[in-house]
């Protein structure tokens, strides 16, 4: 079977897997709701209406928001991830609303300035358990976001169901069990801070750390697919990436070598140049891979959109077919099956991600900006520490109730992580009375 032609499982099954009342349990019990909406539909609505989701509209995806009207923000990225994830969930028979909720939530905890902001905050909080965007996401939906307060007065965040919380946990383990993260940052990937383990233990009860439900796996793949395809599109339109630079032959060989090296450093440490070369060759051989330089014309933009659409279908179809081949045609949910992603597909996705990484994320102008961003976050952390009365009201109350300096620092990190790129810059310039303009 070719990569581009796959039967749709949903056409054959037409059903969604059965979820148990236990899957619908919430950390804090709530009165019965309107039966016309499922518990999982309510979860999706809570995330969709959250302040955390709105803030993603002004947070960096790859290219900083505000530099161009076209580029994606973390909000538009999350919406696209949700669309891809929801469709794959429908094909496999798991509840689309659970996956949609997980996809909309997956980047809620990311701070201003993208992954570099995450690195800066991790260094700032190294003595109190570090910082990790996925662990911050869990903290936000179970503690920070205002929706439900428990009988003991403790905030429960959005109070999502057990199944939805499990689905949004990309790294189901604490920091102590994490291995080293991406080579560029050293941030270890984990899904829960030590002081949030009570809710983690609630929804992970009976499941081994490291084991992910199929809904979380679908979310993770949808994120990878969207990241790989759409960030390449953004990089091309912004003028950072020319696909012709990676053509086979003498002209593109040096650039291909750089691409394979950065892909290995960031995403596929055990994959050889030969394997990545084959993956890139397969992509370049498709009928929809652009053959002409991007010039911004309507025809060129339409061709680029056609490529992104076809690539998404290619990757989703490959995973769906491989999963159905192993687990059959029954609706799949929770821990009844695992998502199967062919190795060839994983390498193709990683090579595309490597293109965006090489041409945007580690470009010299971006690296120069990193030093300035570190100064911004460092200055804000110092200012909030000296002026806790300037914290937002929710965080001000958390700071006042904190039992020690470690907890107070975590509150300040929560505050900074909640800022958008725009608000972080604006506050920094205000504090420095124009000094930031001279950086």
CA 73 remoteness from chain centre: 12
d(CA 62, CA 73): 8
Range 310-330 burial, b when 16+ CB lie within 10 A, else e: bbbbbbbbbbbbbbbeebeee
pLDDT category of residue 303 using cuts at 50, 70 and 90: very high
State the average pLDDT over residues 58-82. 74
pTM over 0.85: yes
Q: What is the pLDDT of residue 34?
A: 80
Whether the Cβ atoms of residue 38 and residue 96 lie closer than 8 Å to each other? no
* CATH class of the domain comprising 9-211: mainly alpha
pLDDT tens, 157-170? Answer: 999 999 999 999 99
d(CA 250, CA 263): 21
State the average pLDDT over residues 282-290. 96
Is the pLDDT at 300 greater than 90? The verdict is yes
pLDDT category of residue 3 using cuts at 50, 70 and 90: very low
Lowest mean pLDDT among 247-251, 257-261, 316-320, 388-392: 247-251
Q: What is the pLDDT of residue 71?
A: 64
pLDDT category of residue 47 using cuts at 50, 70 and 90: very high
Is the pLDDT at 182 greater than 50? The verdict is no
Q: What is the pLDDT of residue 2?
A: 37
Whether the Cβ atoms of residue 60 and residue 74 lie closer than 8 Å to each other? yes
State the average pLDDT over residues 382-395. 96
pLDDT category of residue 371 using cuts at 50, 70 and 90: confident
d(CA 188, CA 179): 6
Is the pLDDT at 4 greater than 50? The verdict is no
Name residues whose C-beta falls within 8 Å of residue 134's C-beta, 6 or more positions apart in sequence.
Answer: 106, 109, 169, 170, 171, 189, 190, 191
pLDDT category of residue 70 using cuts at 50, 70 and 90: low
Q: What is the pLDDT of residue 439?
A: 40
pLDDT tens, 262-277? Answer: 999 999 999 999 999 9
State the average pLDDT over residues 175-194. 73
Residue ranges in 238-297 assigned as alpha helix (H): 250-266, 273-284
Q: What is the pLDDT of residue 253?
A: 86
Q: Which position has the higher pLDDT, 115 or 51?
A: 51
Whether the Cβ atoms of residue 44 and residue 78 lie closer than 8 Å to each other? no
Sorted by where each begins, the domain ranges of the chain are: 9-211, 215-360
Q: How many residues does the chain have?
A: 439
Is the pLDDT at 185 greater than 50? The verdict is no
Whether the Cβ atoms of residue 4 and residue 283 lie closer than 8 Å to each other? no
Is the pLDDT at 436 greater than 50? The verdict is no
d(CA 162, CA 234): 35
State the average pLDDT over residues 2-13. 42
Lowest mean pLDDT among 112-121, 186-195, 362-371: 362-371
Is the pLDDT at 213 greater than 70? The verdict is yes
Q: Which of 51, 83, 50, 85 is nearest to 160 (CA)?
A: 50
Mean pLDDT of the chain: 89
pLDDT category of residue 433 using cuts at 50, 70 and 90: low
Q: What is the pLDDT of residue 180?
A: 56
**Tokens coding 186:** 């050293």
Residue 174 φ/ψ, nearest 5 degrees: -80, 175
Q: What is the pLDDT of residue 72?
A: 76
pLDDT tens, 77-128? Answer: 999 999 999 999 999 999 999 999 999 999 999 999 888 899 999 999 999 9
State the average pLDDT over residues 362-378. 77
Lowest mean pLDDT among 60-69, 129-138, 215-224: 60-69
State the residue for tokens 């990683």.
Answer: 350
d(CA 332, CA 289): 33
State the average pLDDT over residues 1-30. 69
Q: Which position has the higher pLDDT, 43 or 363?
A: 43
pLDDT category of residue 342 using cuts at 50, 70 and 90: very high
Q: What is the pLDDT of residue 350?
A: 97
Percent helix, strand, coil in the chain, to 5, is 60, 0, 35
pLDDT tens, 312-322? Answer: 999 999 999 99
Q: What is the pLDDT of residue 11?
A: 42
Name residues whose C-beta falls within 8 Å of residue 223's C-beta, 6 or more positions apart in sequence.
Answer: 81, 85, 103, 106, 170
Q: What is the pLDDT of residue 187?
A: 58
Is the pLDDT at 12 greater than 90? The verdict is no
């Amino acid at each position: 079977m070719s990569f581009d032609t796959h039967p749709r499982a949903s056409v054959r099954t037409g059903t969604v897997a059965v979820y148990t009342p236990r899957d619908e349990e919430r950390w804090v019990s709530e009165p019965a709701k309107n039966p016309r909406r499922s518990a999982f539909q309510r979860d999706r609505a809570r995330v969709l209406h959250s302040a955390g989701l709105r803030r993603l509209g002004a947070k960096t995806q790859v290219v900083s928001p505000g530099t161009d009207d076209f580029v994606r923000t973390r909000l538009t990225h999350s919406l696209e991830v949700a669309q891809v994830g929801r469709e794959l969930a429908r094909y496999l028979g798991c509840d689309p609303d659970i996956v949609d909720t997980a996809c909309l939530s997956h980047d809620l905890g990311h701070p201003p300035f993208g992954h570099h902001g995450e690195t800066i905050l991790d260094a700032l909080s190294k003595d109190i358990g570090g910082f990790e965007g996925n662990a911050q996401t869990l903290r936000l939906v179970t503690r920070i976001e205002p929706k439900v307060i428990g009988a003991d007065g403790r905030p429960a965040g959005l109070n999502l169901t057990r199944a939805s919380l499990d689905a949004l946990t990309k790294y189901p383990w604490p920091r102590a069990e994490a291995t080293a993260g991406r080579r560029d940052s050293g941030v270890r990937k984990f899904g829960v801070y030590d002081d949030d383990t009570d809710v983690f233990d609630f929804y992970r009860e009976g499941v081994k750390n490291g084991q992910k439900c199929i809904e979380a796996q679908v979310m993770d793949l949808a994120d990878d697919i969207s990241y790989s395809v759409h960030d390449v599109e953004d990089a091309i339109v912004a003028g950072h990436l020319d696909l012709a630079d990676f053509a086979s032959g003498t002209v593109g060989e040096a650039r291909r070598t750089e691409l394979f090296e950065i892909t290995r450093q960031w995403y596929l440490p055990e994959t050889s140049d030969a394997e990545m070369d084959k993956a890139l060759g397969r992509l370049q051989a498709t009928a929809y891979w652009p053959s002409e330089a991007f010039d911004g014309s309507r025809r060129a933009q339409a061709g680029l959109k056609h490529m992104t659409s076809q690539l998404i279908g290619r990757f989703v179809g490959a995973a769906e077919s491989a999963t159905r081949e192993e687990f059959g045609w029954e609706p799949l949910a929770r821990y009844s099956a695992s998502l199967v992603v062919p190795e060839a597909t994983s390498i193709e996705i990683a090579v595309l991600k490597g293109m965006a990484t090489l041409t945007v994320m580690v470009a010299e102008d971006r690296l120069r900006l990193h030093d300035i961003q570190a100064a911004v976050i460092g200055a804000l952390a110092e200012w909030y520490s000296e002026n806790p009365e300037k914290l937002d009201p929710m965080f001000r109350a958390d700071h006042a109730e904190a039992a020690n300096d470690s907890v107070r620092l975590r509150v300040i990190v929560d505050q900074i992580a909640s800022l958008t790129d725009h608000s972080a810059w604006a506050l920094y310039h205000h504090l420095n009375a124009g000094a930031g303009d001279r950086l």
